[in-house]
Amino acid sequence: MDLICNSYANDSDDEPEPVTDERFASGIAPPSITLKRSYPGPEERRYKPARRPNPPYGSYSDPQTSSSVSVPISVPGRYVSKRERSLLASLSTVSNQNQDSDLIQKPSVSSPTVIGSISDSEGPQHVLSSVTHRAKGSSWRTESPSRMSISLTGHTKAVIAIDWSTSHVHLLASAGLDGAAYVWNVWSSGTKKVRAFLHHNAPVKDVKWSTQGLSLLSCGYDCTSRLFDVERGVETQAFKEDQVIGVVNFHPDNFNLFLSGGSKGSLRLWDIRNNKVVHEYIRDLGPVLDVEFISGGKRFISSSDVSGRNKSENAVIVWDVSREVPLSNQVYAEAYTCPCIKRHPQDPVFIAQSHGNYTAIFSTNPPFKLNKYKRYEGHWVAGFPIKCSFSPDGETLVSGSSDGSIYMYGYKSTELIKKLKAYEHPCVDVAYHPVLPNVVASCSWNGQVSVFE
């Protein structure tokens, strides 16, 4: 009777204290009572170190809440008292409040593509003043750069395309076979590589700036073209195809349209507003090497690799954009492919870089005749995707070369003006600055990007 009274007298939910009774001193208990483990004797306690008290069975101390609060753990089949239920409810409320506050107060983490500032305020004063004066209509003429002034390092494999921004002229974009598309703040006194777009999971083949804002378009071996917001450092759209995309180019009058050409010979005009193909230009072509708009965007020229067919037909084709039909497919009759097509900024002509180690000149008016009396010779292509471009005033043609040099020709005379030794490896792409008359950017087969002044 005393045992029953003592049990109900303990109103706590904890385990009752051991009953000290002379009947249990001998270690013999009545058959109806189940004894707990006997307490250790003096000899056992003498040689054991002191232990920290364990939390009650079925509970766990959460270090994120409080070191003195035990959080009960729900065990199937175990009785949960009112006190434990109230404790669980209060802890759950506190935990939810902490999570909500974390979501609100957690600072925003910048995108991993954002490395530095794209502001032009860090550039040297002579560059800023030159850009300002030129923008006001200065009549400067193109000059020939004489030395390498800036080296931009970061690519680990060949860089095969570069492009200056025409709206933010201190920014240069590059595309490499290492799968990266970088944006460089060329004259920054701090970090020059300011954006790193690593969204392609294969080599990047081409990169182009949009004429509207800070948008950049790239394409590559992962069969996608990708559009990036350079200011925020994020990818905004991806355009998937069934072929490796080798070249992209924005429409000159509508920045919402761009043209892509791929390894299966397909040419597609995309509308970025709905991520759909507006026009598709189908013909029995080899891999598309380059595309260029002419006639205000009403026509475009494509260059294809047809060397495997042992015929020059379709090597260079002039297309009508809206009707999706070729206007001429026998523009270039020689048995060479052309890795680069560029139109002149003023005159109705375009040029084609030939694997015959020269650059040919054509008319942009029907019947798109080849100029048989003029060509730019002296540099070497030798199977590399060597590119060329005109200066903004159209007076100079600059070309890369497989011997690692930069070649500059007079547009009208076709004579070699200057030769600059740039790299030990092939110089793949070159581009005149859109504003500064004496600045040329270039890239090489070993991953270097340079600026010459």
Is residue 12 one of the residues assigned to a domain? no
Between 142 and 333, residue with greater pLDDT: 333
Say how far apart CA 143 and CA 388 lie, in whole Å.
Answer: 17
Contact 353, 399 (CB under 8 A): yes
Is residue 268 one of the residues assigned to a domain? yes
pLDDT at 330: 84
Is residue 111 one of the residues assigned to a domain? no
Is residue 265 one of the residues assigned to a domain? yes
Q: What percent of the chain has pLDDT over 70?
A: 70
In this model, does residue 358 exceed pLDDT 90? yes
What DSSP state is assigned to residue 119? -
pLDDT at 34: 47
pLDDT at 2: 57
* pLDDT tens-digit readout, 287-313: 999 999 999 999 999 999 876 655 667
pLDDT at 285: 80
Say how far apart CA 166 and CA 247 lie, in whole Å.
Answer: 19
Mean pLDDT of 256-262: 97
For 309, phi then psi, to 5°, come to -100, 0
In DSSP notation, 206-235 reads EEEE-SSSSEEEEEETTSEEEEEETTTTEE
Count structural domains, the chain: 1
Q: Out of 123-137, 231-245, 293-307, which region has the weakest mean confidence (pLDDT)? A: 123-137
pLDDT at 211: 87
Measured CA distances, 418 to 146, 378, 426 (Å): 9, 11, 17
**Identity (one letter) of the amino acid at 75?**
V
Is residue 53 one of the residues assigned to a domain? no
Mean pLDDT of 362-372: 94
3-state SS track over 177-212: CCCCEEEEECCCCCCCEEEEECCCCCCEEEEEECCC
pLDDT at 212: 84
Q: Please, what is the average pLDDT of the chain?
A: 81
Mean pLDDT of 252-279: 95
In this model, does residue 417 exceed pLDDT 50? yes
pLDDT at 151: 95
In this model, does residue 416 exceed pLDDT 90? yes
The strands making up 440-444's β-sheet, listed across from edge to edge, are: 148-152, 449-452, 440-444, 427-432
**The CATH number of the domain where 386 resides is what?**
2.130.10.10
Is residue 44 one of the residues assigned to a domain? no
pLDDT at 23: 43
Q: Which two tokens stand for residue 374?
A: 């003029």
Helical residues (DSSP H) of 219-358, grouped into ranges: none
Domain that holds residue 238: 120-138+155-396
* pLDDT tens-digit readout, 92-117: 554 454 444 443 333 333 457 899 99
Is residue 61 one of the residues assigned to a domain? no
Q: Which two tokens stand for residue 318?
A: 């002039």
* pLDDT tens-digit readout, 370-402: 999 999 999 999 889 999 999 999 999 999 999
In this model, does residue 15 exceed pLDDT 90? no
Between 299 and 52, residue with greater pLDDT: 299
Is residue 195 one of the residues assigned to a domain? yes
pLDDT at 213: 81
Say how far apart CA 67 and CA 283 lie, in whole Å.
Answer: 74
